[in-house]
Structure 1
Amino acid sequence: MIYRDLSTNPGTAGTPPSPPRNRLSDESSPYLLQHADNPIAWYPWGDEAFEAARREDKPIFLSIGYSSCHWCHVMERECFSDPEVADLMNDVCVAVKVDREERPDLDGLFMDICHIQNGNGGWPLNLFLTPEGRPFFAATWLPKRTTGRMPGLTDILPRVKWLWSMQREDVIRGADSLAETLAAHLKFVSGGRVGAASARSALNELQGLFDPQWGGFGFAPKFPAAPRLLFLLEQARSAINSTQERETLLGMADLTLRRMWRGGIHDHLGGGFARYATDEQWLVPHFEKMLADQALLLLTAALAHEIRPDPFYRTLAEDIVGCVQRDFTAPESCFRTSLDADSEEGEGRYYLWTEEEVLRLLPEGDRGLFCAAYAVLPGGNFGHEMTGMRTGQNILYEASTVTELSRRYGIRATEAEDRLARDRAILLEARSRRTPPAVDDKVLMDWNGLMIGALARASSAFGQTEWRLSAERAALFLQKALPDPRGSWRRRYRGGEAGIPALPGDYAALLWGVMELHRAAAAAGARKKQLRDWLRYAESLTGKLMEEFWDPEDGGLFLSSSDDPNIFLRRKTASDDAAPSANALAAMGLAELSSALGERSYMERAREIVACFARAAALRPLDHLSLITASGMLRPVRAAEAESETDEGREPPAEAAEAQSEEAPVSAAEPREDEGTPRSHPERSRRDRAAARSERRLSRTRRSGLRDR
């Protein structure tokens, strides 16, 4: 009650205070909407929150998470919904909520702060900031009350209030020091080139971290670490490495994929993969499924199959695509963001089984076989993450191979495989009748770009035309839904509306994805007009990316906009996280675009990006694997005008006709009829000439049996 009294305005004695206003109900983010009924006076990130902090002379409490995060749900339930915590929070701070998937620029900036202060990070990410936006305290999940060495919010908040009132100069000095430390950490000298030494150093580090028994890198918890797998595969196809080295690198990626496939991180009934496993054997997952993870693992399977075709990679790819088509594909043909870790019954309950449930559902003759195959135990094989106590539940993981089972039960391997497939279908149907996890149905430009590129690459690797067409439909929808009338793009689509200005990672990921689509369409024999339209699509993305985020002084791309006054530091880095960095993806996309168009300026810009971060990559190669891969794509550009004019009349090679997308991309160089699009970029004439040259060059490409549209 003391905190409610302290917040009462003068002159209102005896009048019950009005309830605090929570401002999240008008937001589109599913994560923010999960907190819209909290008794905390949440603000979304923006000027209004910072103006309130300065007006009320309060620090800011910033909490960052995402909708499918289990521990975000725990903190919402135990802290943010609690009246005692809310009274403290509303008295001490101005509270701000951020969806990390909507604002990866903010998440990356403040996660760096958390790592500097604590040596680790995670979500939910919670910080205290000055009203000018400078952080002075960072932590991850926090309980309501102090438990052991874990401080609780009910103890932290009064301490913050006292420090802000009594020792503010020290707090501000600490915040300034923390900001300077981060700025020094991010500071680098641009220039140089990424050479073979950086790649060799990175490989040595990866081999030192590799787990030769269970695959993956390091110890628990284990993440798929897709940029590391992709780097291994790129090096496995590089002639710079010896035959034996290439075999070793492919083997590391292959073992990791196979161990993940057998583990509980893989959904053996519905397909796809959870975000990470809590143990080194990939058995116990954190159950949320993320679109970006599915995209990058699909790409990994495609690249591995390109190096050495294997039925396992095809099965892996079909498994992921099946999950994406069923659970992630929106009616608009684009892709949703994630599936929650929790359902009504609790964390992971949607995916867990008691032995009694399995025995009741399966045919009598299959029960022993299935339980042996997937480690279904009477007392359960799944323990509580915090206590380790058995819950009676089982997570399905492949404990025995089909070959081992056929020997044990005296049946043919094909029979065992068929029976297990039938049993999985029975359990999947039964699971579909449970209350499913919530779907975060927002559409993100960057993650859709990754899925578009992965589907396109996989369509070529596995001969799946429909996968390419699915990628085309998504790319065409984004092209219609995300640009604003000024030609800039928005990064999020939900409920029929687009919002939030696109970030460099959005433009770069979609640029890369569109170039993979162009590659796949060319390989499939698409006609030159469709290929030219994909290139114009890519050029339009490139123009906006460079216009809004290029650093004209030192090169490279800033990771946040220049027009947000509340961001205390504009980061610029090429370090990977769970996905390739924006700068690396931009360099890859630009290199591919340059080669396709015969336009040297794009390759020069890709070189400038790589050169900008070359010294950082030499110092920390393991953090810059995608940039090192991008450096291998830099090559002399053969100008398209050198192509023979007689190419137009060459007889195309014979090919099988195949279906194409119902519509070609909207040409970025041409205004749409329904928009007041301003006249084109000043370099339009140069680009049109380049496109014309490309058309002549691409005329040698195999043609499909359909007419151009």
Structure 2
Amino acid sequence: MPNKLAEQTSPYLLQHADNPVDWWPWSPAAFAEAARRGVPVLLSVGYASCHWCHVMAHESFEDAATAEYMNDHFVNIKVDREERPDVDSVYMDVTVALTGHGGWPMTVFLTPTAEPFFAGTYFPPRPRPGMGSFRQVLTAVTEAWRTRRDEIEESGADIARRLAEAATRGPASGLAAEITPALLDTAVAGLSARFDARHGGFGGAPKFPPSMVAEMLLRHSARTGDARSLEMVAVTCERMARGGIYDQLAGGFARYSVDATWTVPHFEKMLYDNALLLRVYLHLWRATGSALAERVVRETAAFLLADLRTPQGGFASALDADAVPADAVPASAAPAGAHPEEGASYAWTPAQFVAVLGPEDGRWAAGVFGVTEQGSFERGTSVLRLPADPDDPARFAAVRAALAAARATRPQPARDDKVVAAWNGLAIAALAEAGALFDEPDWVRAAEQAAVLLRDVHLVNGRLRRTSRDGRVGVNAGVLEDYGDVAEGLLTLHQVTGDPEWLALAGTLLDIVRDRFAASDGGFFDTADDAEVLLRRPRDDSDSATPSGQAAVAGALVSYAALTGSTEHRSAAETTVARVAPLLARDARFAGWAGAVAEALLAGPAEVAVVDSPALERLARLGTAPGAVVVTSGPLTVGRETAGVYVCRDFVCELPARTAAEVRRQLGVKVAS
């Protein structure tokens, strides 16, 4: 019999709807039930494509005896962190503070007043060295609650007080600092010191795609001419594109690499990673003309449209890391009761290559893709890599197509098909800009359709909702990153299409941010002033897998100010970035998007109006000037009747450019048009 998650829209929650655990969604009713029964709350936080969330669910939440104990002694709440990033943020801070590390699945024990007193991440079904079993943890918490409840409640109240006090002290990044060229130089020098010159990226294993940092470095290189900044991006992007983190058969990037060489990925494919990386590779191509970067852009865009697009025109959140393993290619039907395994869809053996391609092509392709008898992954299987482009492109294309077709017959990873507003905003920006530069109108149309979905479904009573699924909007309010990333996507779409509706809607969203999310000391909170009250009001300056809400809004404010001439929006952006500046100078790995916005502010940014010059329009969009806005209609074109490309910065305009050479000089165009 389904539990209380059966009516939810989140695919992650629905995965647990048939657990024997009597799960509750996050709600006042759940805490009221805990108070009525006099028991603690077990809060479990994860997301649909999380591998270890699936593992813990199979080992513990599907186990009847464990579930019975949980039901008898706790009120159990399941949260999708992608639907409720505010809840996740608050209790992740607790988990890190209590244990020294964080991650998902996250397990937190709360009092009936939502105050935390014990936390952890994954707990195994049996004890391991240095780690108790989940049942041992449950038993210990139950016994402590029975014998020392007053002490536990006092401890929970103390933790809650400390969280609240930390929030009132302001951002951990320190006092605001002026945005100067020297500050950006310091940030880049710090990145250079941490750069892995051999494999690309920053630091060691595990290694995540540094999308926001790459944008900052590309803009820094464009503004200053610094070759080192461009080199760090170029090396990192090439190593990722040739590694196992990139899907060598169908395009698209996995979440991260478990090693420092980009060889073995954590196989889930997230919308946000691919949207951000599509734009990084697009901007790298714009700066260098790299054929590899262009290929990655085209393949990643194709992946988004083929695998993540929903029937309603939005983009799904993710593809799972796991699938039911297949022992042969093509795969037979999955055995009854078989459990998914990580990477099962993507890993290969030499024998499987031969089975698909025949002996000669199979052995050749195994050499091209680095598939060996020893394997680079588990149980003698290999993740496909492409250390170098093969010398026979036609043969390569044929074997690649055959392998992709064979892989499609295998059991496929599940798809988390909820639509997250922020991540769709990132996809809209990437596809619209890439479509304009590569003359791919289908990409622009896909961006428009996603924008229509956000406007028609996610905008409820003038406010954004965080998620939808199958065209049904969720109940959770949009958070700061939703407003910032959606506004960014709409502003990019306006520049590409010329449709004034998208500019106006972006302005409306930014007005809501300034009215409902503003903090008295500058910058913004992650939740609105009328959002659900938690232990503290979340406010995070640092990037994680996506740009921080602060940086996302700052970037949209800068673009909106450049498009409209609004000094108020520019001033708000400057204040917000200044708050993050100390973190940027200390470790730009966690403030890359703020750094990219700072580069745009230092560069102007360029305000480009193309008037009656279609032959020069694409060339203007190829410019590398940091944060430049380029339009053919709207406020920037008013009063300009003479044909040409008008470039202004900081209220100062150059003479209209009427030749390709002039446009190239004024906007830093690097590639052939």
TM-score by length of 1: 0.81
Name the CA distance, whole Å, in 1 between partners of 2:587 and 2:249: 40
Question: Cα distance 1:516–1:429, how it changes in 2: closer, same or farther (>3 A)?
Answer: same
Partner of 1:501: 477
Q: Give yes or no for the alignment of 1:542 onto 2:510.
A: yes
1:68 to 49, 52, 56: 49
Partner of 2:381: 393
* DSSP 3-state at the match of 1:105: helix
CA contact (8 A) 1:133 1:566 kept: no
Partner of 1:671: none
Question: Cα distance 1:620–1:376, how it changes in 2: closer, same or farther (>3 A)?
Answer: closer
Partner of 1:149: 130
Name the CA distance, whole Å, in 1 between partners of 2:394 and 2:636: 50
Partner of 1:653: 613
**Following superposition of structure 1 onto structure 2, how do residues 553-564 of structure 1 map, counting pairs within 5 Å?**
553-563=520-530
CA contact (8 A) 2:46 2:80 kept: yes
Q: Deviations over 1:105-129 (max 9, x none)?
A: 2222222222222222211111111
Q: Deviations over 1:415-466 (max 9, x none)?
A: x222122101001111111121111111110000001111122234434333
Residue 477 of structure 1, CA deviation:
2.3
1:351 to 340, 346, 355: 346
CA contact (8 A) 1:264 1:397 kept: yes
Name the CA distance, whole Å, in 2 between partners of 1:656 and 1:636: 22
Moved more, 93-102 or 125-134: 125-134
Residue 214 of structure 1, CA deviation:
0.9
Question: Cα distance 1:191–1:216, how it changes in 2: closer, same or farther (>3 A)?
Answer: closer
Name the CA distance, whole Å, in 2 between partners of 1:447 and 1:149: 38
1:597 partner amino acid: T
Residue 183 of structure 1, CA deviation:
4.6
Name the CA distance, whole Å, in 2 between partners of 1:79 and 1:66: 16
1:153 partner amino acid: F
Q: Deviations over 1:283-335 (max 9, x none)?
A: 11111100000001101111212222211110110111111111011122211
CA contact (8 A) 1:503 1:561 kept: yes
1:150 partner amino acid: M
Partner of 2:467: 492
Residue 34 of structure 1, CA deviation:
0.6
Partner of 2:669: none
Question: Cα distance 1:702–1:443, how it changes in 2: closer, same or farther (>3 A)?
Answer: farther
1:163 to 144, 149, 162: 144
Partner of 1:303: 283
**Following superposition of structure 1 onto structure 2, how do residues 600-639 of structure 1 map, counting pairs within 5 Å?**
600-618=567-585, 621-634=588-601
Residue 695 of structure 1, CA deviation:
6.6
Q: Give yes or no for the alignment of 1:209 onto 2:194.
A: yes
2:277 partner amino acid: L
Matched residues, number: 611
Partner of 2:626: none
Question: Cα distance 1:314–1:697, how it changes in 2: closer, same or farther (>3 A)?
Answer: farther
Q: Give yes or no for the alignment of 1:109 onto 2:90.
A: yes
Question: Cα distance 1:518–1:700, how it changes in 2: closer, same or farther (>3 A)?
Answer: farther
**Following superposition of structure 1 onto structure 2, how do residues 126-205 of structure 1 map, counting pairs within 5 Å?**
126-183=107-164, 186=167, 187-188=169-170, 191-205=176-190
CA contact (8 A) 1:66 1:99 kept: yes
Name the CA distance, whole Å, in 1 between partners of 2:408 and 2:522: 51
Structure showing greater Rg:
1
Q: Deviations over 1:67-102 (max 9, x none)?
A: 111111110000011122112211222111111111
2:638 partner amino acid: R
Q: Deviations over 1:389-436 (max 9, x none)?
A: xx132221224x246xxxxxxxxx2xx222122101001111111121
Name the CA distance, whole Å, in 1 between partners of 2:603 and 2:290: 34
Q: Give yes or no for the alignment of 1:479 onto 2:460.
A: no
**Following superposition of structure 1 onto structure 2, how do residues 569-584 of structure 1 map, counting pairs within 5 Å?**
569-584=536-551
CA contact (8 A) 2:376 2:382 kept: yes
* DSSP 3-state at the match of 1:349: coil
Question: Cα distance 1:230–1:493, how it changes in 2: closer, same or farther (>3 A)?
Answer: same
Name the CA distance, whole Å, in 1 between partners of 2:274 and 2:641: 35
Name the CA distance, whole Å, in 2 between partners of 1:221 and 1:42: 32
Partner of 2:422: 446
Question: Cα distance 1:616–1:356, how it changes in 2: closer, same or farther (>3 A)?
Answer: closer
**Following superposition of structure 1 onto structure 2, how do residues 267-286 of structure 1 map, counting pairs within 5 Å?**
267-286=247-266
2:369 to 351, 365, 374: 374
* DSSP 3-state at the match of 2:459: coil
Residue 696 of structure 1, CA deviation:
2.4
1:237 to 215, 222, 226: 222
Question: Cα distance 1:651–1:224, how it changes in 2: closer, same or farther (>3 A)?
Answer: closer
Name the CA distance, whole Å, in 1 between partners of 2:552 and 2:565: 19
Question: Cα distance 1:195–1:185, how it changes in 2: closer, same or farther (>3 A)?
Answer: farther
Question: Cα distance 1:632–1:380, how it changes in 2: closer, same or farther (>3 A)?
Answer: closer
Instruction: Report % sequence identity.
Output: 35
1:632 partner amino acid: E
CA contact (8 A) 2:219 2:599 kept: no
Partner of 1:589: 556
Question: Cα distance 1:255–1:696, how it changes in 2: closer, same or farther (>3 A)?
Answer: same
1:102 partner amino acid: E
Question: Cα distance 1:262–1:618, how it changes in 2: closer, same or farther (>3 A)?
Answer: closer
Name the CA distance, whole Å, in 1 between partners of 2:244 and 2:614: 46
TM-score by length of 2: 0.85
CA contact (8 A) 1:190 1:554 kept: no
Q: Deviations over 1:315-368 (max 9, x none)?
A: 110111111111011122211110011112222111122322210110443122
Name the CA distance, whole Å, in 2 between partners of 1:550 and 1:700: 41
**Following superposition of structure 1 onto structure 2, how do residues 43-54 of structure 1 map, counting pairs within 5 Å?**
43-54=24-35
1:39 partner amino acid: P
Q: Deviations over 1:223-257 (max 9, x none)?
A: 11211222221212122xxx4xx211111111111
* DSSP 3-state at the match of 2:591: helix
Residue 693 of structure 1, CA deviation:
5.2
Q: Deviations over 1:22-77 (max 9, x none)?
A: 21011010000111111111111111111112222222111111111111111000
Give the unaligned 5+ runs of structure 1: 1-18, 384-390, 404-412, 659-690, 704-709
Name the CA distance, whole Å, in 2 between partners of 1:464 and 1:139: 47
* DSSP 3-state at the match of 2:109: strand
Name the CA distance, whole Å, in 2 between partners of 1:68 and 1:573: 24
CA contact (8 A) 2:47 2:82 kept: yes
Partner of 2:403: 427
* DSSP 3-state at the match of 2:463: coil
Partner of 1:11: none
Residue 540 of structure 1, CA deviation:
1.8
1:431 partner amino acid: R
Name the CA distance, whole Å, in 2 between partners of 1:440 and 1:355: 31
Partner of 2:501: 533
Question: Cα distance 1:463–1:612, how it changes in 2: closer, same or farther (>3 A)?
Answer: same
CA contact (8 A) 1:39 1:82 kept: yes
CA contact (8 A) 1:600 1:637 kept: no
1:222 partner amino acid: K
CA contact (8 A) 1:199 1:621 kept: no
Question: Cα distance 1:616–1:420, how it changes in 2: closer, same or farther (>3 A)?
Answer: closer
